[in-house]
Amino acid sequence: MYNDPEVSAQLHRLAEAEPLPAFDTSAVVTRGRRGLRRRRLLGAGGGIAGVAAIALAASLIPNLSSASQDPGVAGAENSQFEAVPGLPHGEAALFVDVTPAHAQQLCDLRYPGEHQKLKSSTARTHRVGSKPSFEMQKPPAKTRRFCQIPGGDKPSAKLVAAAKTDPLPKTAAGQLRNCSVQTWVDVTGWRIMAADRSETLKQAQIIAVSPSGRSLIACDLDSRGGPMTEMTNTLFSRLQAPDADRDPILAPARGKKWAEMFAAGYGGGSCDSSTKKCGKGSATAWGRAPAETATVEVTLHGKSYRTPAKDGWWASTWAIEPHTWTGDPKKPEYPVYKAYDQNGKFLKKIGG
């Protein structure tokens, strides 16, 4: 039977406004079609009024705006994901304290058939997205070392295949898709605040904030595969009421100033004390600097790399080329990050 969506909508309105003494389907359908014809006749001159009515309805319905909704209920569930038992959909999963026993169940679900046990730790709970270690295998086997605690959105096989085909996408939609596949948290509707990629390192840093503004993902995409992909530093942080022990807070929020954040990783680039030659390396970082920050610069051994900042958010993925260092080998140096305003004025040292 033909199903007219406008007639269907009219049926619901009629049922709510004028309950019928007896539910006569044909009569209600007839009334609905009459209403539809009336609306079409009035449509030519009533377009502006219709828009105003919709706006008024939106203002009267609570929590219609995604920005005001609770985590995980901003819009319908994405059909590209399957629900994970014991965890809510979307952002809401990030506010669940996962017990060690539940974490083991989630890891078994994420890595079926591997039968690896999580290493005992003093942690009473885990966060979705955290990476507790598995027990070491005896004898050592070619197995993964960590379990990234999954969220409540298991990606479809089609979505996983798309991420595998394009592991380092250039579009925002592709980046958020891959971050969702990596974490099992649907972040496809989140807003990217900063991003940086290195073709040399085959890595990218994606910083995105949830529609509610309560959560952040620092997503580390890596196209090298194997153990290197397992070492990615993707994490979720709570922007409202952050935990100093779990969130990379550099300076707490004060008054109208937001909390400053900073997280960094550095690898390779070691120097030979006799030849002063330094190999290639990488320095990746992200954070939120003071509001007036326009550029963040990272320096090491006289070399530097700059990345833009917007609303304080920035991300940096620097491939350090082989070079010569004339410094004191007994005093190793590490990457130093500094913030500058739009006029090039030094604001503060962020880290290093």
| Residue 150, helix vs strand vs coil | coil
Q: How confident is the model at residue 251 (pLDDT cuts 50, 70, 90)?
A: confident
CA 186 to chain centre: 8
Residue 139 is predicted with a pLDDT of 52
What are the tens digits of pLDDT across the range 274-305?
A: 888 888 889 999 999 999 999 999 998 888 99
Burial 244-253 (b: 16+ CB within 10 A, else e): eeebbbebee
Percentage of the chain exceeding pLDDT 90: 43
Pairwise CA distance, residues 215 & 11, whole Å? 40
Least confident interval from 12-21, 127-136, 244-253, 302-311: 12-21
Of residues 118, 120, 128, 72, the one with CA closest to residue 98: 128
Domain ranges of the chain: 5-61
What are the tens digits of pLDDT across the range 131-174?
A: 888 886 665 555 678 888 999 999 999 999 999 999 999 999 99
User: Three-state SS across 299-337?
Assistant: EECCEEEEEECECCEEEEEEEECCEECCCCCCCCCCCEE
Of residues 261, 257, 231, 256, the one with CA closest to residue 246: 261
Evaluate if residue 59 carries a pLDDT over 50.
no
pTM reported for the whole predicted model: 0.72
Output the CA–CA distances (angstroms, integers) from residue 200 to 107, 281, 317, in the order listed: 32, 10, 10
Percentage of the chain exceeding pLDDT 70: 73
Evaluate if residue 207 carries a pLDDT over 90.
yes
| Residue 260, helix vs strand vs coil | strand
Pairwise CA distance, residues 188 & 161, whole Å? 16
| C-beta separation of 165 from 174 below 8 A | no
| C-beta separation of 177 from 199 below 8 A | no
